[in-house]
Amino acid sequence: MGPLLNGGSSYLIEKETLLNPDALAEEMFKNKITTMVVTAALFTHLAESRKDIFSTLKYLLVGGDVLSPAHAK
């Protein structure tokens, strides 16, 4: 809701794309995504599969569970 109130856009990603790190990275880079909100489990999966997926983000919001210190770094 925040981006929409401030002139930004929101992107909803299909489940199949969201769970495929390569497809998700392609969508994020293509659409110039700068903010991402994910669960801790999805963050861990993405961090282990493709660390560069977070390279264009200004903000990353992760919640729902405890993150390991290694993944948080």
pTM: 0.80
Distances (CA, A) of 56 to 65, 66, 68: 24, 24, 22
Backbone angles phi, psi at 42, to 5 degrees: -70, -40
Position of tokens 């995504």? 33
Segment 2-50, tens digit of pLDDT: 778 888 888 888 999 999 999 999 999 999 999 999 999 999 999 999 9
Q: Are 13 and 42 in contact (CB under 8 A)?
A: no
Look up residue 63 and give its DSSP letter. E
Torsion of CA 6, 61, 46, 26, to 10 degrees: 10
Look at residue 63 and tell me whether its pLDDT is greater than 80. Answer: yes
In the chain, what are the domains? 2-72 (3.40.50.980)
